[in-house]
Structure 1
Amino acid sequence: MSNTALAQKGAEDQSKPSRGRPRDVEKNRAIIDAASRLFLENGFDGTSMDEVAKRAGVSKQTVYSHFSSKEQLFGESIHITIEKYFPDQALQEVRSHTLEADLTAVSMRFAHLLMSQDAMAMHRVLVSAAPRGPELAQIFWEAGPAEMIVKLSAFLKYWVDKGELEIDDLEKAGARLISLLKGKPHFEMEIGLRDSVSDDVLEAHVVDVVKCFIKLYRKS
């Protein structure tokens, strides 16, 4: 299947904040990796640019030459993590493209993200920061989930245009798919009833979600 439909939203990516300086990709990557781990380990307030520099093996000046603030670095670390789970990445693994096969691949990839230990750790970071106001949550939302919904909308539009799905509000349908993918397993992890979700349980959960979603939106 062509990824043309998924690429239609590409122009919107150009409006995103600068993602560091391409002049030194290796250092940029090291800074982001170090920051990502520190944010998960220590939270946003507990992470300093000095610590990021030390963990990345660069100077503090180098960190600031790539990222103007800790907030920008936080947003970029979220974006880099989540973009690996975008639909176009999942579709590269599908050999025979059907609605069911593609939706399952996309859903499975994103479910792995939702149920990951890093996702749970980030949830705790955001919850702990919530009393201070919505600023950090807004950065997180714009850097990751909002773009994921845009990508899902483009993916769903492809199948609407193919005549297999009937969806009036693509963004709402994308958000609904994410909510369905969370379901009981995600809730149990959030409250500490389970540490992880086995591959068998996750696969069965995704199969049920895909069936439910297609039943909701299959064009009659």
Structure 2
Amino acid sequence: MTATAAKVRKGRKFDQVLDGAREVFMRDGFEGASVDDIARAAGVSKATLYSYFPDKRLLFMEVATHQCRRQADKTQHDIDEAQPPQVVLPQIARAFLGFILSDMGQRIFRICVAESDRFPELGRQFYQSGPMVMRAALVGYLDKAIDRGELATDDCNLAADQFAELCKADLWPKLLFGIRETFEEDEIARVIDGAVATFLARYGT
């Protein structure tokens, strides 16, 4: 059991605390969110909140991983794996970018980096709850597309990782280094179209 898992206690008001925390974090951000506001939004006492989450970072990461799991599950549910790559890959790219470019996605990344020395398990917990699920789903889809003769590769894991990196081109570096905070729809569409075209030029049949 990781240190994070050992510190988080489940109970009947656990989901209630998460709902209140999600509301406050999305409204005020991590630094601006106070324990008092979270307890008030959740309808619990501070003592109850601390009994579940003794550290605000743990609470934030629990909210973040829960959101990421929901996003991954929704993406898997919405995608018809019987469709060709030209249809499915843009859907996957949009779901991926929708999360990493979101305010929550940026905050998660920054918390993981800032706390990597003290709490390395935070990053692992987040990766396992969302990105790893999405990656596995993409690898599974690529396998099916290969079986149908639509793609060709003997390394679906590498192909999936390359597609994810193609989707981040131009957008993620500008966001990471504070050059841009938001992007227009046509800018995102440009990167997605380029990622899909480049990927299919390499792996398409």
Give the TM-score range, shorter chain: 0.7 to 0.9
Percent identity among equivalent residues? 23
Determine the structure 2 residue equivalent to 1:130.
116
Tell me: CA distance 1:68–1:160, structure 2 relative to 1, closer, same or farther (3 Å): farther
2:30 equivalent to 1:41: yes
2-side partners of 1:179 and 1:61: how far apart?
A: 43
Which residue among 79, 98, 105 is the counterpart of 1:91?
A: 79
Determine the structure 1 residue equivalent to 2:136.
150
1:52-103 CA distance string (max 9 Å, x none): 43332223565578x57657645542332223443424426x9x93320111
Specify the SS of the correspondent of 2:153: coil
Determine the structure 1 residue equivalent to 2:204.
218
Residues 98-177 of structure 1: pairs in structure 2 closer than 5 A:
98-132=84-118, 134-177=120-163
1:180-203 CA distance string (max 9 Å, x none): 111111100110111111101001
Q: For structure 1, which runs of at least 5 residues remain unmatched after alignment?
A: 1-16
1-side partners of 2:28 and 2:123: how far apart?
A: 14
- Kept in 2, the 8 Å contact 1:78–1:143? The answer is no
2-side partners of 1:33 and 1:60: how far apart?
A: 16
- Kept in 2, the 8 Å contact 1:19–1:76? The answer is no
2-side partners of 1:111 and 1:145: how far apart?
A: 12
1-side partners of 2:152 and 2:9: how far apart?
A: 36
1-side partners of 2:41 and 2:17: how far apart?
A: 13
Q: For structure 2, which runs of at least 5 residues remain unmatched after alignment?
A: 1-5
2-side partners of 1:161 and 1:47: how far apart?
A: 52
TM-superposed deviation, 1:51: 5.9
Specify the SS of the correspondent of 1:132: coil
Determine the structure 2 residue equivalent to 1:30.
19
C-alpha RMSD of matched pairs (Å): 3.5
1-side partners of 2:54 and 2:30: how far apart?
A: 19
2-side partners of 1:75 and 1:130: how far apart?
A: 13
- Kept in 2, the 8 Å contact 1:38–1:47? The answer is no
2-side partners of 1:19 and 1:199: how far apart?
A: 41
2-side partners of 1:134 and 1:167: how far apart?
A: 34
2-side partners of 1:68 and 1:122: how far apart?
A: 17
1-side partners of 2:79 and 2:9: how far apart?
A: 25
Counterpart code for 1:134: P
1-side partners of 2:89 and 2:9: how far apart?
A: 30
Q: How many residues align?
A: 197
Q: Give the TM-score, by structure 2 length.
A: 0.75
RCO higher in 1 or 2 (8 Å CA, sep ≥ 6)? 1
TM-superposed deviation, 1:118: 2.1
